[in-house]
Amino acid sequence: MTMTLTETGVDRYVVEFDHFLRDLAVAGPERIEKLRHTAFERFVELGFPTVRDEQWRFTNVAPIARAELRLDSTPAEVTDKDLAPFDYEGCAQLVVVNGQFVPERSRLEGLPEGVVACGLADALERHPEQIESHLARYARVEEQAFVALNTAFLRDGVFLYVPRNVVVEKPVNIVMVGRPEDRPIGFFPRNLFVAEESSQVTLVEQYVTVGEGSYLCSPVTEVVTGDNAVIDHYKLQRETSEAFHTATFQIQLGRDSNFSSHSISWGGAIVRNDVNAVLEGEGAEATLNGLYMVEGTQLVDNHMRVDHVAPHCDSHELYKGILEGSARAVFSGLIHVHPGAQKTDAKQTNRNLLMSPDALCNSHPQLEIFADDVKCTHGSTVGQLDDTAVFYLRSRGIGEDAARSLLTYAFASDIVDRIKVGSVKRDLEEFLFRRLPKGDIVRQAV
Amino acid sequence: MTMLEIKDLHASAEGMEILKGVDLSINPGEVHAIMGPNGSGKSTLAQVLAGNEVYEVTDGQILYKGQDLLEMAPEERAREGVFMAFQYPVEIPGVSNVYFLKAALNAIRTHRDLDEMDAMDFLTYVREKMKLVKMDEALLNRPVNEGFSGGEKKRNEIFHMAVLDPVLAVLDETDSGLDIDALKVVADGVNTLRNDERAFLVITHYQRLLNYIVPDFVHVLVDGKIVRSGDKELALELEEKGYAWLEREVGASEPVGV
């Protein structure tokens, strides 16, 4: 056992866990209190994943396991000025710094009556009944080391609750700030979003860095989309290129519900997104789209699992990637159709654009089908810009760099165009214009 | 002064020689038509003029306004006034047709030491050109060629040509696959743009186009060489007799190229 601990870099977490429990202000319901312990035990058993683990074959998290992360960091300060680039006009705002909710920087006025938007620690204390039926009931503690670790260190994050029939007009902008310290730190935001029957809400999660330095941000977000509810979700992973990010996003879909997510990643050194959607009510529809654009030695890994449990459900996945330098991308998409999930309509597409001979992509779409009357398609491509298209643009007087940038933008554009929150779309466009060579010409031409 | 002077041009693709010594001179104001059977090298000639790097020039020379055209990158050629209407225009999702043209025109204007056109001036300018090719305004704001019909794509090429105002316009089988109405629109566009300074090289497989765009010269390309040149009567003769008599006459081997 000791051998295993040392090998997997888990031993020092035992001490950190003791410190964490000692300092924990709000333990929450008894189940949660116990769960932290079982989750920690599970993490110790599992250890950090290695490339021998099928689900982590191409994503080596040894740098995270080796990093001597401090987990007891003191609450850090951020100013409104620090937050200005991420502050979206017309949105409600919740700010979390190093995993802890900061009410002073949050802006919650104008939300409809009955909507709860607060820190998870507050919710553990003030809304235990609303939390109890959902918190830590979906994400797979047993199987996933990072979920186990997050659950062991469960303390704070964001809780959002939208009651039955309530439509939240204002998008809710959640700013998850990493504030590096002089030594690498680790934190584990825990989020719970619940949209009750026939409610509707638009959510933005931005993962950002204020300052410079290395850290691990390892959030777990559980989403409950009630019967006939509609959630439109956006995630912007825009942390510093020194950050490690291992996120689990677990979505439950009720009858006739509609959940849509666009996950945009351009930051981080190692970024892993585990996205699990469970369509458990008849007639549910899930849209899981994503765009990643990485350079240098960045690694981005999107691991998707869609479980079609109930009949007559649709899922659509479109992930697109642009890889520069020696960047690497991993895409793994599993569609699992359970027995009885007849009339499933599932589509999954992953397209990658390699901009450099040193960039590398591993793409693995998979289908597991245990029902006989279903429509499932998947496809993946890895390619380069089309020379004929480049030549076409150059033949109109556009320089080569600008032509390549225009076509790269064109590749990304179907994801960009689907973004319904103006500020998110604008930020993504601005990022592309900045990142792409001769971006000013792209800006002019789109 | 001669605008374009092609001398003994040899070009190949994937190691196979397609153009085997083409000579051609074009003066300002002239319209030249190049006809020929499939695989004779017509499109290759157009692509080489526009600078497609898929084709390797193995011998010969092209002088454009006295400069060595082959030394210039495709975008430099465009900025110097060479335009090629593509046989198969490319779809570019997410990039608006009109803004793209503005970027292209401004790249050309900057090269010619002209001020960039602002949005207002450009729109006025573009509306004028649209009338020329009877373009539907809706196609302006759509992404470049995306979801356009075959005819709309060709019309859009003529529209690009009108906006970019070239010195030498090369039309690569712009008429292929068009119905008569679309064909007339293409021809009208070209005829309106004809003037004493501008030259056209119209590449076509079918004589029909030349009823609407009356060329000053007609050249027949067979097996990578111009085997006969004449005036518009040559096109009519070809229409009557087909290409076979010329192919027999020059003893052409198997057709080559694309």
Give all domains of chain B, ordered by start, each with its CATH number: 4-250 (3.40.50.300)
Q: Is residue A371 part of a domain?
A: no
Residues A263 and A403 both lie in one domain:
no
Better-predicted residue by pLDDT, A151 or A29: A151
> Does the structure show a pLDDT above 60 at A100?
yes
Does residue A5 register a pLDDT over 50? Answer: no
Which domain covers residue A113, as residue numbers? 2-281
Q: How many CB atoms lie within 10 A of CB B4?
A: 23
Give the best residue of B95, B98, B145 to mutate against chain A (max A CB count within 10 A): B95
SS3 per-residue string spanning chain A: CHHHHHHHCCHHHHHHHHHHHHHCCCCCCHHHHHHHHHHHHHHHHHCCCCCCCHHHCCCCCHHHHHCCCECCCCCCCCCHHHHHHHCCCCCEEEEEECCEECHHHCECCCCCCCCEEEEHHHHHHHCHHHHHCCCCCCCCCCCCHHHHHHHHCCCCCEEEEECCCCECCCCEEEEEEECCCCCCEEECCEEEEEECCCCEEEEEEEEEECCCCCEEECCEEEEEECCCCEEEEEEEECCCCCEEEEEEEEEEECCCCEEEEEEEECCCCEEEEEEEEEECCCCCEEEEEEEEEECCCCEEEEEEEEEECCCCCEEEEEEEEEECCCCEEEEEEEEEECCCCCCCEEEEEEEEEECCCCCEEEEEEEEEECCCCCEEEEEEEEECCCHHHHHHHHCCCCCHHHHHHHHHHHHHHHHHCCCCCHHHHHHHHHHHHHHCCCHHHHHHHC
**To the nearest whole number, what is the mean pLDDT of chain B?**
92
Q: Is B164 close to A397, i.e. CB distance below 8 A?
A: yes
Mean pLDDT of A301-317: 98
Q: Is A446 on the interface with B (CB under 8 A)?
A: yes
Band (pLDDT 50/70/90 cuts) for residue B136 is confident
Query: Is residue A216 assigned to a domain?
Result: yes
Report the pLDDT value the prediction gives residue A1, as an integer from 0 to 100.
Answer: 37
Of B89, B99, B111, which has the smallest distance from its Cβ to A445's Cβ? Answer: B99
pLDDT one-digit tens code per residue, A399-435 = 999 999 999 999 999 999 999 999 999 999 999 999 9
pLDDT for res A4: 43
Predicted local distance difference test score (pLDDT) of residue B240: 87
Tell me what pLDDT residue A72 has: 75
Number of structural domains chain A divides into: 2
Question: Distance, in angstroms, between B15 CA and closest chain A CA?
Answer: 18
Alpha carbon distance A321, A42 (integer Å): 34
Last residue of a domain, one of A227, A256, A281: A281
Mean pLDDT in chain A?
Answer: 95
Average pLDDT over residues B71-86: 98
A276 and A389, same domain (yes or no): no
pLDDT band at B132 (very low <50, low <70, confident <90, very high): confident
- Determine contact: A362 vs chain B, CB below 8 A: no
> Is residue A355 a part of any domain in this protein?
no
Q: Which of A106-120, B21-35, B118-132 has the lowest mean pLDDT?
A: B118-132
Q: Residue A346 domain-assigned?
A: no
User: Per the CB < 8 Å rule, is A392 touching B79?
Assistant: no
Question: What is the average pLDDT across A286-297?
Answer: 98
Mean predicted confidence (pLDDT) in A150-158: 97
Task: Examine residue A219 and state whether it is found in any structural domain, yes or no.
Answer: yes
The Cα A446–Cα A424 span in angstroms is 17
Q: Is it the case that residue B117 has pLDDT exceeding 60?
A: yes
Residue A335 located in a structural domain: no
Nearest CA in chain A to B84: A395
Tokens of A1: 């056992």
Q: Is the pLDDT of residue B257 over 80?
A: no
A160-172 pLDDT, tens digit each: 999 999 999 999 9
Categorize the per-residue pLDDT at B252 as very low, low, confident or very high, splitting at 50, 70 and 90. Answer: low
Of the ranges A72-76, B54-58, B152-156, B181-185, which one carries the lowest mean pLDDT score?
Answer: A72-76
Touching B: A residues 375-414, CB under 8 Å: 386-389, 391-400, 402-403, 406-407, 409-410, 412-414
pLDDT digits (tens, 9 = 90+) for B87-96: 999 999 989 9
Is A310 within the bounds of a domain? Answer: no
Question: Would the pLDDT of A351 be above 60?
Answer: yes
According to the model, what pLDDT value does residue B122 have? 94
Q: Pick the last residue of a domain from A242, A266, A281.
A: A281
Is a pLDDT exceeding 70 seen at residue B212? Answer: yes
pLDDT of residue B258: 40
A26/A169 same-domain check: yes
Q: Is residue A358 part of a domain?
A: no
Last residue in a domain, options A247, A266, A281: A281
Whether the predicted pLDDT of A117 surpasses 60: yes
pLDDT average, residue stretch A92-112: 96
Task: Give the model's confidence band at A253: pLDDT under 50 very low, under 70 low, under 90 confident, else very high.
Answer: very high
| Residue B255's pLDDT band (cuts 50, 70, 90) | very low
- Mean pLDDT for A49-73 is 92
Summarize the confidence of residues A364-369 as an average pLDDT. 95
| B133 — pLDDT class (breaks 50, 70, 90) | confident
Question: Considering only alpha carbons, which residue of chain B is nearest residue A414?
Answer: B94
Q: What is the mean pLDDT of residues A98-122?
A: 96
Coil, strand or helix at B254: coil
